Structure 1
Amino acid sequence: MTTAKDLFIIAMDLKHSVGQGDLSLALAGAELIDLIGAGAVAVDGDLIVPGGQPTLDDRLMGEAAARLTRQAPYERIEDWLWRRGRDLSAAYQATLEANSELKPRRSGRLPFGSERVELVDTPARRRAADRWKEKEPVLTALASVVGIGDERSGDEPGLDDEAVTTVLAAVHDAVMELEAVRQRRAIENAAFANLWRGP
């Protein structure tokens, strides 16, 4: 069980509207935090320094570990989040579907209504729900960054690991940067539309 998988499950379970880009960045951060916990990496300032190569029994976590930059100059946390985070929420959805942890459901009464997926009641889903109910600090902080649950600050009790706090701050900054890009594009698109519309 990984923090990233738990975060994905919580985002789906609470049916909270989370941007795919935001969630993907948070999932990459969650993977990095679990890699720190497994001793696979350490954080030196804003750099990810590879450590040992522990056996990881989760395929996506194994992929994350395999994609680490193992030679100096090491990768910055922010660069890792953007690189690893690309389409990561779709990868988690595909993995859960392949493992029969998500099932299709149709919305509306028509047989050709839009198809969506919903979580199956599995031990993994119950474990994620338990972590959420217990307000596990890292999971709650990551969820908060993407707008799920209560706002939390990085210095709350339970977040006493400096490396974890550094990763959480980087995730927060990356999500804010993504939102700024979205707003800039919206303004540019509106200006372009007005230009074509004329006075």
Structure 2
Amino acid sequence: MTTAKDLFIVTMDREPDRPVGQGDLSLALAGAEVIDLVATEALTLDGDRMVPRLDSATDDRLLDEAATKLDRRAPYERVEDWLWRRGRDLAAAYQSDLERSGQLVRQKRGRLSFKGERMELTDSPARTRALHRWAADEPVLLALAAVVGLPAEQTEDTPAVADEGVTTVLVAVHDAVMELEAVRQRRSIEKAAFANIWRG
């Protein structure tokens, strides 16, 4: 399993104060993929530039797909640009992947998916692993979850993210989610103003 799938599973399992937006989660999943690709040595980070390295297959279809989409031309892609390019509809892709593998099923009762359908996680080794990482206060997973609105209870003993490259990715994810929220708010204001014109 990957950090991205663990993040998706935790998001489905937890009860957030507000629903997690598909766009927010998609951006975070794209960031998680970068972190996983660095861990598998498929790329390195040169500042905020993603420099492809080895062509090594993983045991994860979506992560392998992400590796094939890396820009292999200098000066290489910035993390922020990757988030917007790769993140488009990525949450739906992860949902479909987990459904295909039987780890996420449609239920009459359960949590709502992004499309308004009732979805429920099955008891699986993947779910157990993701929730174990969450319970163990794994810093990268906690940081990504916090960006999409799933803050965990942290104490002084909660480990911090120490890797500079990972921090670069987390900052980019945070900034992208904030930018997306600003776009939402602007559109909401514009719609309200347009409605007022017609009512007036």
Provide Cα deviations, 1:52-94, integer angstroms capped at 9, x if missing partner.
Answer: 1222110000000000001112011100000000000000000
Query: Which structure: larger Rg?
Result: 1
In the TM superposition, 1:1-199 aligns within 5 A as 1-16=1-16, 17-107=19-109, 115-150=117-152, 157-198=159-200
Amino acid at match of 2:193: A
Provide Cα deviations, 1:134-170, integer angstroms capped at 9, x if missing partner.
Answer: 0100000000011102388xxx844111100000000
So what's the TM-score if we normalise by structure 1? Answer: 0.91
Name the SS for the 2:34 alignment partner: helix
- Unmatched runs of 5 consecutive residues or more in structure 1: 109-113
84 and 139 in structure 1: CA distance in 2 versus 1, 3 angstrom threshold:
same
Please identify, of 99-108 and 55-64, the stretch whose mean Cα deviation from structure 2 is larger: 99-108
CA contact (8 A) 2:26 2:88 kept: yes
Q: What is the identity percentage for the equivalent residue pairs of Structure 1 and Structure 2?
A: 65
CA RMSD of aligned residues (A): 1.6
- Unmatched runs of 5 consecutive residues or more in structure 2: 111-115
Q: Distance in 1 between matches of 2:11 and 2:161?
A: 21
Name the SS for the 1:5 alignment partner: helix
Name the SS for the 1:68 alignment partner: coil
Q: Distance in 2 between matches of 1:151 and 1:71?
A: 42
Amino acid at match of 1:192: F
Name the SS for the 2:51 alignment partner: strand
TM-aligned CA deviation for residue 115 of structure 1: 4.0
Say how many residue pairs are matched. Answer: 190
Amino acid at match of 1:117: M
CA contact (8 A) 1:49 1:70 kept: yes
CA contact (8 A) 1:25 1:85 kept: yes
CA contact (8 A) 1:144 1:151 kept: no
Aligned to 2:113: none
So what's the TM-score if we normalise by structure 2? Answer: 0.91
